[in-house]
Structure 1
Amino acid sequence: TLEVEYQFAILRNLIKQEAPQNEIHDVIVGIKRNLDESERIVTGTGEIAPAIAFSSSFAIVFREGLESVLILGAILTYLEASRNNQFKKYVYYGIVAAFVATAVTWIIASYIIEISGANRELIEAIAALSATAVLFYVSFWVLNKIEHKKWMEFVKAKVWQATTTGSVMVFVMLSFFTVYREGFETVLFYQAMSGFAKYMEIYVVLGFILGMISLLGLYYVMRKLGRKLPLRALFGLTMGVGAYLSIAFLGNAVRELQILDILPYTGLIGIIPRLDINLAMMTGIYPTLETIVAQVILLGVYLIASSYILIIRPQKERQLTSMRKSRKSSDE
């Protein structure tokens, strides 16, 4: 494009003038970014990358909203069962306030990225790393909750305390933080993904809409029909999706840091296939040693932790229970 040609001309002039290294570096970063943009436009989005963008968007809003739906459903069910319907409206007030706060958070985050200028790549890298860290933490939290049957005891205790004391603000704050915590994480994840899903925004929006519809459907099934949800399967699925997203975000974060020359670049072209630019950005897979090593390490951590929590620890607990039973029977 003309802009890239202009940037190359500026780069040549800066080199001839022996300009400061930071000025040359900024121009090089801009050239790399525009070359990526040109490749995106020329190659098109294809079919696989939009499908990943759609499914990732759906997974983000679904996995983040799932816990909120379960907790809010438990709160409202408890209030109805205990004949404290007068407190339900305060739960709804908190939900509305949380949605407003989430929207404001999105606007602020978008504005910060928009005005970041030359530091945009660094901010996107930080957002991707932050999203990776949060997903890593949440995924292990989910893993533990798969085996933890009393994971909402704290919430129920707070609701019981509020109904006995008549404190309406407890319901407002409890529902607010239940929703806003997930909303804040959702903003972080979507901001991280928005930098890598360019020209696929429609698929991201459709995934978000379907995710919200699915959450409403779950809420209806749980509250109106009184059906029990397969929580183990749902949490297991969301954990897997979270692991995938964190690995993809990590790969993209490393690449952004490589573009900024913060991390070294060791090419593996010829060893690792170079994916289409859109597919690469949606998976975080690039033919560089640093991105591959980072993703493999994170994947290994997930596999080891999953094996321990889902297989090894339950076996140890069963063995311990069996030993206690045998001791008890022998004492008798």
Structure 2
Amino acid sequence: MLVPFLIMLREGIEAALIVGIIASYLKQTGRGQWMPAVWIGVFLAAAIALLVGGGLELMSAEFPQKQQELFEGLVGLVAVVILSSMVFWMRKVARSIKHSLHESMDRALANSNHQVIALVAMVFFAVAREGLETVFFLLAVFQQSEGAGAPLGALLGLILAVAVGFGIYTGSMRLNLSLFFRWTGLFILVVAAGILANSVQALHEAGIWNSLQDVVFDVSATLPMDGPVGSVLAGMFGYQDAPTISTLGAYLLYLVFALVMFFLPASAPVGRKPAPATHS
């Protein structure tokens, strides 16, 4: 429950920040009449994300066992790629995203013939990116979880993200976004390592990956995956009580590489001096 809650909270706040920056800029520049186009873009992006997620979930339910394992493994790999790129993309552009959105809006509204379409498209692609990232992550988590905990956590995260985004936009809430994205980014990388390990295991069960299957250690007698603590660790970090060389190797190799890259100094955008971190 905690993992989908935190991911949905982070993704929701990212999307809310994008919409808030756009709305604030339109208001500040006397173009508030374009806000309906912004909301059309937001709702279209949300609809696409829901359709993609629902379609993939319904499609996978019809698969036989081995194909379901293959689907789970592939979705997990896609989720790891998307989660990793999301963390490093936000780390790179966090200081310049406001300026970039302002430039995109100015370009969209410069053409007097297709202003509405251009603004809807700009908002749609900006928000749809966040929505599709969330869809693949939640699919990977839901397939590795049982019960209503994961969907409930995602729903609560979304509700809180909307409330936080509204508070930031109205000025009633101040949040250290740099610190927030840094710590949630670190958490996401650990989660992604667990998803990768489970994906490797799913590919093995689908008959695709059969190398390095020797068990490294077995602690199922003391900390089983189906026990209270083990199930929490498995749901949050992909814990396995009897990992193989391939699953443990994938986990450690990814995590070490990702953490090294994460703690390297972030490069500033070309042609722009790094700005001090601000509270929004």
Common fold, TM-score beyond 0.5? yes
Task: Report matched runs for 1:61-210 at 5 Å.
Answer: 61-117=8-64, 118-145=66-93, 148-166=94-112, 167-199=115-147, 202-210=148-156
1:290 positional shift: 1.5
1:160 CA displacement: 1.8
Amino acid at match of 2:179: A
Q: 1:305 aligns with which of 254, 257, 261?
A: 261
Matches within 5 A, 1:242-253: 242-253=188-199
Does the CA contact (< 8 Å) of 1:136 and 1:246 recur in 2? yes
Q: CA-to-partner distance for each residue in 1:271-317, whole Å, 9 max, x for gaps?
A: 7975324346423232222211111111111221123226xx79xxx
Provide, for residues 177-224 of structure 1, a one-character-per-residue CA deviation record: whole Å limited to 9, x for no partner.
Answer: 12211111111111111111023xx21122122211221222222211
- Alignment partner of 1:55 is 2:9: no
Are positions 1:275 and 2:224 aligned together? Answer: yes
Once superposed, what is the RMSD of the aligned Cα atoms? 2.3
CA distance in 2, matches of 1:176, 1:305: 30
Counterpart of 1:276, as a letter, is: M
Q: Secondary structure at the match of 1:116?
A: coil
Partner-residue secondary structure (3-state), 1:309: coil
CA offsets 1:230-288 (integer angstroms, 9 cap, x no match): 11111102211220221110111111122234233111234797532434642323222
Tell me, in whole angstroms, the C-alpha distance in 2 between the residues paired with 1:168 and 1:174. 10
Does residue 239 of structure 2 align to residue 285 of structure 1? yes
Counterpart pick for 1:266 among 199, 203, 214: 214
Instruction: Tell me which amino acid in the other structure corresponds to 2:59.
Output: I
Runs of 5+ in structure 1 lacking a partner? 1-53, 315-320, 322-332
Residues 1:295 and 2:244 are matched in the alignment: no
Tell me the CA shift for residue 227 of structure 1: 4.9
Q: TM-score, normalised by structure 2?
A: 0.83
Give the Cα–Cα distance (whole angstroms) in 2 for the partners of residues 136 and 212 of structure 1: 21
**1:213 and 2:159 are equivalent in the alignment:** yes
* Bigger helix share: 1
Contact 1:143/1:309, CA 8 A, preserved across alignment: no
Residues 104 and 256 (structure 1), Cα distance of their counterparts in 2 relative to 1, 3 Å cut: same
C-alpha separation in 1, matches of 2:125 and 2:175? 23
Structure number, greater radius of gyration: 1
* Aligned twin of 2:178: 232
Q: CA deviation at 1:64?
A: 1.7
User: Kindly tell me: are residues 270 and 227 of structure 1, through their superposed partners in 2, closer, same or farther at Cα, counting changes over 3 Å?
Assistant: closer
> Structure 1 pair 108/271, CA: closer, same or farther in 2 (3 Å)?
closer
